[in-house]
């Protein structure tokens, strides 16, 4: 059975170089934990642009009248007036759902929600609480909602 692996590469040139490597050679040397090197055949199936500039329009303000539309260049959902995506949309949480269940455990490097439990948290079976994977704090639903409202400008 095959798997998809979704990577985030911060530099456009690095991403293009990786795609070029995969299209030309089709395999990538990988070092194993015991020091051996194996060749893994990889097919590049998709390349997406990651947003870096976001909508700064005030929620419910004058510039929020027209809603959202798809951008022509990257097909992002963007604010119709300023042409930029929101930070919430650009966080990328939504596109993981369309691919099915993420088989990697939640971690600081891969914090995307897995479809169950509490986003960004791991279940601690001993204390029977959700623990944030980066801060180690116990999940507090009221605080989490207040933090999200602040983060996305809905105060």
The pLDDT value recorded for residue 134 is 80
The pLDDT value recorded for residue 67 is 83
- Measured between alpha carbons, how far is 71 from 104 in angstroms, rounded to an integer? 31
Radius of gyration of the chain (CA): 19
Q: And the tokens for 123?
A: 């279940």
DSSP 51-78: P-S---PPTTSGGGSS-EEE-TTT--EE
pLDDT at residue 38 tops 80? yes
**Which DSSP state fits 116?**
S
pLDDT at residue 63 tops 60? no
pTM for the structure as a whole = 0.56
The pLDDT value recorded for residue 23 is 78
Give the model confidence (pLDDT) of 86-138 as tens digits.
Answer: 887 777 666 665 666 777 776 766 776 666 677 778 778 888 888 887 888 89
On the 0-12 / 13-18 / 19+ scale of CB atoms within 10 A, 1 is exposed
Domain ranges of the chain: 7-47, 53-91, 101-155
Residue partners of 1: CB distance under 8 A and separation at least 6: none
Give the model confidence (pLDDT) of 13-27 as tens digits.
Answer: 999 888 888 877 667
Question: What is the mean predicted confidence (pLDDT) over 54-59?
Answer: 80
Question: What is the mean predicted confidence (pLDDT) over 6-12?
Answer: 87
């Amino acid at each position: 059975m095959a798997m998809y692996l979704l990577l985030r590469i911060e530099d456009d040139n690095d991403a293009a170089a990786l795609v070029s490597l995969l299209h030309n050679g089709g395999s990538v040397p990988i070092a194993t934990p015991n020091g051996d090197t194996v060749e893994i055949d990889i097919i590049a199936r998709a390349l997406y642009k990651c947003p870096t500039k976001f909508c700064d329009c005030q929620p419910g303000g004058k510039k929020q009248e027209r809603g959202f539309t798809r951008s022509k260049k990257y097909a992002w959902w963007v604010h119709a007036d300023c042409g930029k995506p929101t930070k919430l949309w650009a966080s990328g949480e939504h596109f993981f759902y369309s691919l099915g269940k993420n088989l990697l455990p939640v971690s600081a490097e891969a914090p995307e929600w897995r479809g169950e439990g509490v986003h960004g948290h791991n279940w601690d079976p001993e204390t029977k609480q959700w623990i944030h994977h980066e801060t180690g704090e116990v999940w507090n639903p009221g605080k989490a909602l207040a933090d999200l409202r602040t983060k996305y400008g809905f105060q």
